[in-house]
Every structure is written in structure tokens, then in C-alpha cells.
Structure 1
Amino acid sequence: MTDATLSTVRNAARLLKAFLTREESLGVSELARRLGLGKSNVHRLLSTLVAEGLVEQDARTGGYRLGIVMFELGEAVKVHLDLHAAAGPVLAHLREQTGESSQVGVLDGDEVVYVDRLESAHSLRLFTETGRRVPAHCTSSGKVLLAHRSDAEREAYLARGALTRLTPHTITDPAVLRDELVTVRARGWAEAINEREVGVASIAAPIRDIRGDVVAALSIGAPVARFGAVPRRRHARALVEAGEAVSRRLGWSPESTATLPRGREA
């Protein structure tokens, strides 16, 4: 990235921050004065930001204000902050119940990002740092999140050819993954055994927001040697209940969401 590009990005960020004053709208001249930039430069920045939905122009006054995309970004940040607060106590309880590492993941593009995690107390355990990105198709968290996308989003993902083979057990056939996602959605939880890394197993359950949309996945993982079929099935019920507990802390309830229009799920 060139110095000129970095300067443009920095000026765009400064321009967006100028709206923190919460004035109804700001004109090109006023923005140029506050930022110490030329009007033509500010106008070019505004044109780009308007095209991306980050800023919008008031047809009545000609001034500019923050656009709907900025509101959506703010809501996304709020969800993540709320998610951390809601998940923390449940993660601790889940680790105590199962003795295994527990974590919360969200979907970002074709990857799962782990935003919260507590390690197992076992000497033999998995080490996955918070913030790590992993492919969605070969993780239990990713399967939960993909299973609850809309039909169109799910099919677009399967059509992108993003199913990279990481182990001999990784699902790379879109038709096979599609069938598994149907099972995940019907069963209420997902599992991934040796799919991202040989010797690693995990199970995951959905976390819903106040509208009932699945916004994250709660998972537990362990070495396969300790996390065979019997303990996975035994822990699945506790995991689903933990996912529901986090969801309730986010405002979800089966009764209240039954009458709300659903968002991403179809």
C-alpha cells in the first residue's frame, strides 16, 4: 500500500470521525475547514463514501450525514460486545461441566473467527488463541453458522469452491456438506472429527440474538483420544443448553421470537 493510499484512507477515517459531533448534517466547506483539506479532496472522499453507503447526502440541504451502513457496523460492534458479556459466565460453567476447552466463534466471510475462549484444565488439550481464523466447512462452529444462513447465502458459499481439503477427513464435496448442514439444522448441533486437524474433535451449538437469528456458535473441543462418540453425545445436550443460555442473555426466547420476522434464516 502506497503512502498516498494510506493518506487517503486516513483522511477518509478522519472525515467519518467528524460526524461524531452529532450535527444533523455537514457541508463540504465545513468538513474541509475542520479537516484542513481542500474542498475538491473532501468532495472526492464523500463521493466514495456515499457510493459505499457509509455517508449519505441530505437532498433537502445538500449536507452530508452518516449512512445506514455505519449504523449497521455499529450494531455489529454492539453485538460482539454484548456477546462477550453474555458468553463469559456460560463459557466458564461449560468448561466446569465438561472439563474441555470452550469457545465462541462468529462467521466472517468463509471463515470462523474465535472471539472468546477458555482452555481446558487437562494437560493434553487444544491450543487455539482468541482471534484465530479457521475455514468454516471443516469446523463444528462453521457448520452451525453455515447451516443457519439463508438458502441463498448457503448455496453461494457452496458454489464458491472454498472447501479446501486439510485432512483426509475434510468434506470437500458440496453435496455432502449440504446434506450435513441439513442434519445439523435439524439436530441442533454439529460435530467435526479429524476434519481440520487429525486428532482433534469438536461439537458446536447455535447462539441466537433477540430476533432468533444465529449470530455465533458455542463449541467445545478436545483431542479425539478423549472425545470419542460417547462423550460427544453426552456433552451435546449440555452444549445446546449452554448455547440457549447465552442466547437468553442476549434477549432471545422461543416464545418472543416466534412472532418476529426472521432475518438470515430461510
Structure 2
Amino acid sequence: MTDAPLSTVTNAARLLKAFLTREESIGVSELARRLGLGKSAVHRLLTTLAAEGLVEQNPRTGGYRLGIVVYELGEAVKVHLDLHAAAGPVLVRLREETGESSQVGVLDGAEVVYVDRLESAYSLRLFTETGRRVPAHATSSGKVLLAHLPDSALDRVLAAGLPGFTPNTVTDAGALRAELASIRAQGWARSVDEREIGVASVAAPIRDVHDEVVAAISIGAPSARLGAAVRRRYARLLVEAGEAVSRRLGWVPTAERRPAAQVR
């Protein structure tokens, strides 16, 4: 194994960056000149990138321009940047109120990725670095996010299997579906000794301006500090924290939305 960059990937990245000039389109010959590559190599790169939607051919000029997938990727980055700014102050307050590690996670396939995190002030605490991936079905954040997936997307996750990590992990698809329905109804999720014995967490959803659940906010702690009564109390705080972040993202509760003006 080597950490040396792959030349093809490097050239593909350089090719995409060539479009930062914001020209309407760029031809194969001009791209080859700017990149110092042969036209056949550039054409192969463009063909591959076009198949993935990263570039497209301008039917009027015959040149190439960035594809819609690049726009979608940019929007995904924007959401994460907006999420970081919106969640920061709320995470600080949540940690002050609970004393526990507080984090924000997003769903990637069947895993949760923690994109923001503040450590607990307790000497006995969990250590989960930002960027770490954890199985969605065995965590409170993941359950919140799975609970709000479209049916087709949830079906794909369940079809891939639900590995067990402890005797408490929910590995039956039917049982998990029932739990996810309860989570949608009550507005929060818990996980106790499911990913790791001795670890518990509670989570609530974060919604965007379109009322879509885009992330989950949670606290995690040793199970001994998160008994049933404490979990219920923290659940209320997490629901409030999730709504606070959501409002900062532009979300408005249904009850506060003004009805659309009638056309006369």
C-alpha cells in the first residue's frame, strides 16, 4: 500500500478545477493545453466524468462545462457549513445544561458521521472524534435519521443487514421499523448499550427550511449516568435544542406558518 496520489485521480481533479474560470464551456484542445496532457487522455477523463454527471457537453459549442452533480455537491457542502454555524451555540448550551458530550451527526448510507462535537467536562466521558463513522441502527442519532428516511431509502439500509455489536443491538428489521415509528411519534430516540456496553445516548432531529430532517443532535455518556429518568429529562432538552438549530437553518414549525394567500 502507498499514500502516493493516483495520477488519474489527480488529473481528474485538475480538470475539474480548470472550470473555476467560469467560462461558458471549454474545448478538449484547450483543456489539454492548460493541463499539459494529451487530447486523448483529456477526452477519456471527460467521458468518465460525464458518465458520473460531473461534467457535461455544451450542445451549442461542443465544449464542456461542469455538470449538475457538481452543483449538488456544492449544495451539500453549503448545508454542512450552515449546519456548523447554526449548531455551534446550541451545542455549547446543551453541554452546559447536561454536562455531557454533545454532537451533531448526519447520515451517510447506513452510517452516522459526526460533523460537530463538544466533549463532556466529566473525567469519565466518551471519546468520539469529529468525523468518526458509527452504525446508524445502533445509535440514537442514527435511529432519528433512519426514522425520517423515505421508505425506499430505509428499505435499502435494512436490506444490507443489521449487524449486532452487543446483545442489545436491534438486528431484526421488523423490530427496528417498529422502533423507528415510535421515534417519529415521540420526536426523539435513545440507545442504551447497543453499540457498546456501558454507552448510552439520546438524540433529536434537526430540520432545514424545507422541513426535511438533515441531521441529529445528541448527547452521549456512560450508561450509568443516563438512567431512564435522566434520559426522559434530557430528551426534552434535546428536542428543544434540535428545534433551536432548525430555526437557525430557517425552519418554521407548522403551527407558526402563515397560510398561503388566496388568489381572488
Q: Same fold (TM over 0.5)?
A: yes
**1:235 equivalent in structure 2:** 234
Measure the CA separation in 2 of the matches of 1:257 and 1:52: 39
Alignment of 1:95-106 (within 5 A): 95-106=95-106
- TM-score by length of structure 2 reads 0.94
Could you tell me which residue of structure 2 aligns to residue 145 of structure 1?
A: 145
Structure 1 residue runs of 4 or more that deviate by more than 4 Å after TM superposition: 1-5, 255-260
CA separation of 1:205 and 1:259: change in aligned 2, threshold 3 A? farther
Equivalent residues in 2 for 1:250-265, closer than 5 Å:
250-255=249-254
Task: Kindly provide the amino acid, as one letter, of the partner of residue 121 in structure 1.
Answer: A
Deviation digits for residues 180-232 of structure 1 (CA, Å, limit 9, x no counterpart): 11111111111001000111110100111111111110001111111100010
Q: Distance in 2 between matches of 1:73 and 1:229?
A: 40
Asked if the contact 1:106/1:114 (under 8 Å) is kept, the reply is: yes
Q: 1:211 touches 1:257 (CA, 8 Å); kept in 2?
A: no
The offset of 1:259, in angstroms, is 8.0
Letter aligned with residue 201 of structure 2: S
Rounded to whole Å, the distance in 1 between the matches of 2:3 and 2:104 is: 37
Question: Secondary structure, in 3 states, of the residue corresponding to 1:26?
Answer: coil
What's the TM-score, normalizing by structure 1? Answer: 0.93
SS at match of 1:31: helix
1:105, 1:114 within 8 Å by CA — same for their partners in 2?
A: yes
Q: CA deviation at 1:75?
A: 0.5
Query: Is the CA contact (8 Å cut-off) linking 1:204 and 1:217 kept in structure 2?
Result: yes
Letter of the aligned partner of 1:245 in structure 2? A
- Same amino acid, percent of matched pairs: 76
Distance in 1 (alpha carbons) for counterparts of 2:4 and 2:125 = 47
Which residue number corresponds to residue 165 of structure 1? Answer: 164
Shift of 1:156: 1.4
- Equivalence for 1:263: none
Task: Tell me what 1:79 maps to.
Answer: 79
C-alpha deviation, 1:77, in angstroms? 0.6
**Residue 251 (structure 1) shift:** 1.1
Kindly report which structure 2 residues correspond to 1:177-256, keeping only aligned pairs within 5 A, or say none: 177-255=176-254
Contact in 2 for aligned 1:28/1:63 (Cα 8 Å): yes
Paired residue secondary structure (1:181): helix
Distance 1:259 1:213 in 2: 19
Give the match's secondary structure for 1:205: strand
* Cα RMSD (Å): 1.9
1:121 counterpart residue number: 121
Change (3 A) 1:30 1:111: same
SS in 2 for 1:126: coil
Q: Residue 36 of structure 2 aligns with which residue?
A: 36
In the alignment, what sits opposite 1:264? none
> How far did residue 257 of structure 1 move?
7.4
**Alignment length, in residue pairs?**
259
Unaligned stretches of 5+ residues in structure 1: 261-266
